[in-house]
Chain A
Amino acid sequence: MKCPNMVFLGKPRRLQAWCRKDALLDPRRMVIVSAISLILVIRLLPESNLEGFDLLIGRTGDSVLLLAILALVAALFFIQCPPPADKKPTTQDNLLASAEAIFEQHLRIDEEIDKRLNEVTADTEHSALFIITQMRQLYDNASRVVQYLEGTNLKAGDLGQAITDSVERLMEVNTFISQLPAKIERDLESVQTVVSEFKEMNGLIESVQAISMQSHMLAINAAIEASRAGVAGRAFKVVADEVRSLASNSSKVATLIKEGLTRASSAVNGGMASSIAESSQQLQGISLATASISILQENFADMSQYYKTRFTVVTKHNEDLAKDISEVLGQIQYQDVVRQSVERIRTAIVQRNLLLQSAIGEGAPDPDLLRELPERIDQLKREYLVEDARHVHLTQAELGNDAGLKIELF
């Protein structure tokens, strides 16, 4: 119990205690009330009625007034500094102090719990946001892989088209080359025909040479005869010389033609035939190379198809990943459901503490409020349950209860 002088310092609790009904019989209060009443009586009564009360001062009534004021001051002093022995705590005071201490502890525990709940809510939100960020990065990375594959697929498509075009051109060349040996063979036959004709021409050349020889002999004989004829045969001798010259030239030309024909025949029969055979083998090699390119094209087409299939599979996986990520992001909404549930609990605790505080908190316990406290707390509980029931709960959501009401389009 503290000093009652707190009454005058405006401590409401002490003022309340002072005004309680059971304090009316307090002797200190009786002295003060009596002194004030006496002062009022002396001031209100006419002086004639106060004659005879001039024991100390000599003025009518003033002695009595002085005594009343002294009594009032003594009573106030007594009130302000009461002897400790008179203020033994009562059982009620002890109970009140205990209740206050319990309430204070209770509030401190609630404050700690509230802090932890707040931290847990913040932690779950932080974790949820982190998961969302990670999920988004996962999707973005997967999308980049798909974009890369898509680019590669397009490039492979372009490359495939270029290869196809090249192979088509090579196939055209191959067709030409494959037909070339037969064509050369035909040309060779033509050449050989020419060579055989050359051989036939050899006989003609020999005839020419023989004619040349005979002409030469004839020219010699003619020259001899012309010499014998003397002047008359002079002109004939000129003709004979010309014939001999002609025969000589014919023989030379025939020889040259024969040599040319012989070289041409040798070239055709020897070098050209073997060259054509060699070329045919090379052409066959080229033809085989073209076949290899064709096989390469088929392999590329297979590979391209393989990568197209892979790309399709990866794209499908990416779509599935997007759906799964979307599902996970939906599940993360549980954090908000939990947060709101925790918020409702925190609000209910604060309201309950306000009720307790108003009943047994700062001021003296209000008996009326104390009596109503159980009912008011029960009312608070009912309000909390009604408010909580308005919101979805995890067990409902997990079990899929009220599926029809979960999504409703108006």
Chain B
Amino acid sequence: MAKTILVVDDSGTMVMSLRNSLEIAGFNVVTASDGVIALDKLKSAPKPDLIITDINMPNMGGVEFIGKARAQSGFRFTPILALTTETQQAKRDEAKKLGATGWLVKPVSGNDLLRVIKQVLPGA
């Protein structure tokens, strides 16, 4: 059965780019345009096996979302990758502290992304 990935980004281009890359690679993709909507998606089926989130978003940013997602039951060990234009080390450290699994700086090629996903998501 295909693994489900939740993509959180306020950019339509990013969402479409990631959705198509991941679907071509055989994943089931769910999307959200900010952290608030993403938290709602966590409560509904299908449960994501992996989360890819932007950092700078309206309503609720990625760092806050990572912290709140980690606090949800069932998502303590779910891999969460931050995909952002942010290069600031302090932000990375903050995300890492809140439970991010990895930090990817945009743009990331589809093949690099798939390689990382296979690393953090066994069986993908």
**A129 contacts B16, CB within 8 Å?**
yes
**B32 at interface, CB cutoff 8 A:** no
* Stretch from A8-16, A148-156, A237-245, A400-408 contacting the other chain: A400-408
Of A330, A397, A408, the residue contacting B17 (CB under 8 A) is A330
Across the A-B interface, give the 6 residue pairs with the lowest CB-CB distance, nearest first.
A326-B110, A333-B107, A330-B109, A409-B102, A391-B85, A336-B11
**B105 at interface, CB cutoff 8 A:** yes
**A330 contacts B107, CB within 8 Å?**
yes
Question: Within the assembled complex, what's the spacing in Å between the Cα atoms of A329 and B20?
Answer: 8
**A331 at interface, CB cutoff 8 A:** yes
Residues of chain B contacted by A334 (CB below 8 angstroms): 107
Given A129-B16, A333-B17, decide whether A409 and B106 contact each other with a Cβ distance below 8 A: no
Minimum CB distance partner of B93 in chain A: A410
With A330-B111, A337-B106, A397-B107 given, name 17 new contacts (CB 8 A).
A132-B17, A136-B20, A323-B110, A325-B24, A326-B111, A326-B113, A329-B18, A330-B17, A330-B21, A330-B107, A331-B109, A333-B17, A335-B11, A335-B13, A340-B85, A392-B106, A407-B102
Of B16, B85, B116, the residue contacting A407 (CB under 8 A) is B116
Of B101, B104, B111, the residue contacting A323 (CB under 8 A) is B111
**A135 at interface, CB cutoff 8 A:** yes
Give the size range of B's interface with the partner: 35 or more
Question: Within the assembled complex, what's the spacing in Å between the Cα atoms of A322 and B26?
Answer: 11
Of B103, B106, B110, the residue contacting A336 (CB under 8 A) is B106
Given A407-B102, A407-B116, decide whether A333 and B20 contact each other with a Cβ distance below 8 A: no
Question: Within the assembled complex, what's the spacing in Å between the Cα atoms of A328 and B113?
Answer: 13
B28-67 interface bits toward A, Cβ cutoff 8 Å, 1 = contact, 0 = none: 0000000000000000000000000000100000000000
